[in-house]
């Protein structure tokens, strides 16, 4: 009986954790627009160092952590860079295909001479 229940409990636990993570991501704005994502990133940058210090004090660890390096990254500018690159590649595809075809035809002509 216990052997049948254990996989169900494991699955329920995994689904609960995944659902909670999805809820937190949606609630904090990570899955929203680029402005909401940038705002959530700013909140995380402000909240993480004090939380780490609090946990260090709680567990009695007095060692100082190294400072977090500054990263100049704007999610607003990089939000859809992959989509822009894909659209750019698709828009250039016909002219590239024509150029490659002409190059291939010229190569075959040169081989037959």
The domain in which residue 110 lies consists of 80-113
How many domains does one find in the chain? 3
Q: How far is CA 9 from CA 1, 6, 19, 26, in A?
A: 13, 5, 15, 26
Pair (110, 85) in one structural domain: yes
pTM for the whole thing? 0.40
Pair (16, 38) in one structural domain: no
Q: Is residue 27 a contact partner of residue 42, using CB atoms and an 8 Å limit?
A: no
Pair (61, 71) in one structural domain: yes
Pair (38, 65) in one structural domain: yes
Task: Spell out a b/e string for 74-102, using b for 16 or more CB atoms within 10 Å of the CB, else e.
Answer: ebeeeeeeeeeeeeeeeeeeeeeeeeeee
* Interval 38-95: pLDDT, tens: 788 788 778 887 887 787 777 777 666 667 677 676 666 666 777 778 888 889 999 9
Pair (20, 46) in one structural domain: no
Pair (4, 26) in one structural domain: yes
Pair (39, 9) in one structural domain: no
């Amino acid at each position: 009986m216990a052997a049948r229940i254990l996989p169900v409990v494991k699955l329920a636990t995994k689904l609960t954790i995944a659902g909670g993570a999805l809820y937190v991501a949606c609630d904090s704005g990570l899955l929203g627009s680029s402005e909401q994502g940038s705002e959530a990133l700013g909140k995380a940058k402000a909240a993480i160092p004090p939380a780490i210090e609090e946990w260090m004090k709680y567990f009695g660890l007095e060692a100082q952590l190294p400072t977090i390096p500054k990263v100049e990254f704007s999610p607003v500018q990089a939000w859809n860079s992959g989509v822009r690159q894909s659209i750019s590649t698709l828009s250039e595809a016909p002219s590239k295909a024509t150029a490659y075809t002409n190059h291939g035809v010229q190569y075959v002509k040169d081989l037959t001479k």
